[in-house]
Structure 1
Amino acid sequence: MKLFPSRYNYQCKINSRYSILNNFLTGALDIIENNIAEKLLGNDFNPEEKNSDPLSSLIERGYLYENPAAEKSLFNELFENFKIKLKDRPIKFVFCPSYICNLKCSYCFEKGLSKKREKFMTPELLKTGFNTIKEFPKKYGKKISSVELFGGEPLLKRTKDMVFEILDFSSKEGIKVSIITNGVMVKEFIEILNDFKNTIEMLQVTLDGPEFIHDARRKFYSGKGSFKNISEGISLLLKNGINANVRVNIDMENIDFLPDLYSLIEEMKWLESPHFKIQPSKVTDHSTTEYKYPVVRDHILMEKLIEIYNDHPQIEDVFKLYMFKPVRHILDIVNGAENVSPRYYNCESNLIELYMLCPDGYIYTCPESIGIENTAIGKYFPQLELFGKRTKMWTERNILVMQKCRECRFAPICGGGCPYASMLIYRDNLQPVCEDFQPVLDTFIRHRGEKILQKFSL
Structure 2
Amino acid sequence: MKKSRYNHIWDLENGKKIAFNSLSCGLAEIDNEFLEVLENIDKIDYDKLEGQEKELIDNMLLGNFIIQDYVDEFKLIKFRHYQGKFSTNSLGLTIAPTLNCNFKCPYCYETPNTHMMDETIKEAIIRYVKQMSKSINQLQITWYGGEPIIAKDIIFDLSEKLIKICEENNCTYGAFIVTNGYLLNDEIISKLKEYKIHGAQVTLDGPPTIHNKRRILKNGENTFDKILENIKKLKEQSIRVSIRINIDKENESYVEELLDILKDNGLNDLDISLGHVTDYTDACKSISGSCLSNEEYANLSLEYQKILHNKNFAANSYPYYPGIKANYCCADQINSFVIDSKGYMYKCWNNVGDTTKSVGNITELDKNIDKIMMSNNIDWMTTTPFEYQECIDCDILPICMGGCPYNLKREGTPQCEKWRYNLDEILKYTYEYKESEENLEEGSLCGI
Q: TM-score band (shorter)?
A: 0.7 to 0.9
Distance 1:370 1:383 in 2: 19
Query: Which piece of structure 1 moves more, 215-224 or 240-249?
Result: 240-249
Structure 1 residues 47 and 142, CA gap change in structure 2 (3 angstroms): closer
> Quick one: percent identity of the two aligned structures?
22
Q: 2:182 maps to what in 1?
A: 184
Equivalent in the alignment of 1:352: 334
**Alignment match, 2:423:** 441
Which residue does the alignment assign to 2:272? 279
CA distance in 2, matches of 1:135, 1:47: 53
8 Å CA contact 1:248–1:278 kept in 2: the answer is no
Distance 1:345 1:108, change over 3 A: same
> Given the alignment of the two structures, is residue 127 of structure 1 paired with residue 123 of structure 2, yes or no?
yes
Structure-2 separation of matches of 1:15 and 1:258: 29
CA distance in 2, matches of 1:308, 1:95: 32
Q: Out of 145, 159, 168, which is 1:167 matched to? A: 159
Correspondence 1:362 to 2:311: no
Corresponding residue of 1:333: none
Equivalent positions of 1:192-341 (< 5 A) are: 192-198=188-194, 199-271=196-268, 277-285=270-278, 287=280, 294-298=290-294, 300-301=296-297, 303-304=299-300, 306-307=302-303, 313-315=309-311, 317-319=313-315, 322-324=318-320, 327-329=321-323
Q: Does 1:142 align with 2:136?
A: yes
TM-score between the two structures when normalised by the length of structure 1: 0.78
Asked whether the 8 Å contact 1:96–1:149 carries over to 2, the reply is yes
Identify if the C-alpha distance between structure 1 residues 380 and 308 changes in structure 2 by more than 3 Å, giving closer, same or farther. Answer: closer
User: How far off its partner does 1:303 sit?
Assistant: 4.2
- Secondary structure of residue in 1 paired with 2:116: coil
Deviations 1:425-450 (A, max 9, x none): 23xxxx42223433321221343432
**2:19 alignment partner, SS class:** strand
Does structure 2 retain, via aligned residues, the 8 Å contact 1:17–1:34?
no
Q: RMSD across aligned C-alpha pairs, in angstroms? A: 3.5
* RCO comparison, higher one (Cα < 8 Å, 6+): 2
Task: Output the amino acid matched with 2:142.
Answer: E
* CA 126–66 in structure 1, closer or farther in 2 if over 3 Å, else same: closer
8 Å contact from structure 1 (residues 194, 242) kept in 2: no
Decide which moves more: 351-360 or 85-94.
85-94
Conserved 8 A contact 2:184-2:230: yes
* Cα deviation, residue 125, structure 1: 1.4
Gaps of at least 5 residues in structure 1 are: 330-341
Contact 1:344 1:400 in 2 (8 A): no
**367-376 or 252-261, which deviates more:** 252-261
Tell me the matched-pair count: 417
Shift, 1:32, TM fit: 1.5
Q: 1:399 to 1:283 in 2, by over 3 A?
A: closer
Moved more, 241-250 or 303-312: 303-312
TM-score normalised by length of structure 2: 0.80
Q: Residues 224-277 of structure 1, C-alpha deviation per residue, up to 9 Å, x if partnerless?
A: 222133123223333444443322223343333333222322332345xxxx72
Q: What secondary structure does 2:384 align onto? A: coil
* Offset at residue 351 of structure 1 (A): 1.2
Equivalent-residue separation in structure 2 for 1:357 and 1:442 (angstroms): 40
Q: Alignment partner of 1:235: what SS?
A: helix
- Partners of 1:36 and 1:378 in 2: CA distance: 54
Secondary structure (helix, strand or coil) at the match of 1:186 reads: coil
- Counterpart Cα distance in 1 of 2:182 and 2:64: 50
**In the superposition, relative to structure 1, how do residues 106 and 443 fare at CA in structure 2: closer, same or farther (>3 Å)?**
farther
| Cα deviation code 1:348-396 (max 9, x no counterpart) | 2211342222123221121111122343232211444343133222222
Structure 2 segments unaligned to the other structure (5+ residues): 168-172, 443-448
1:423 aligned partner, one-letter code: K
Distance between the aligned counterparts of 1:225 and 1:22, measured in 2? Answer: 46
Q: CA contact under 8 A between 1:350 and 1:395: conserved in structure 2?
A: yes
Q: Which amino acid aligns with 1:265?
A: L
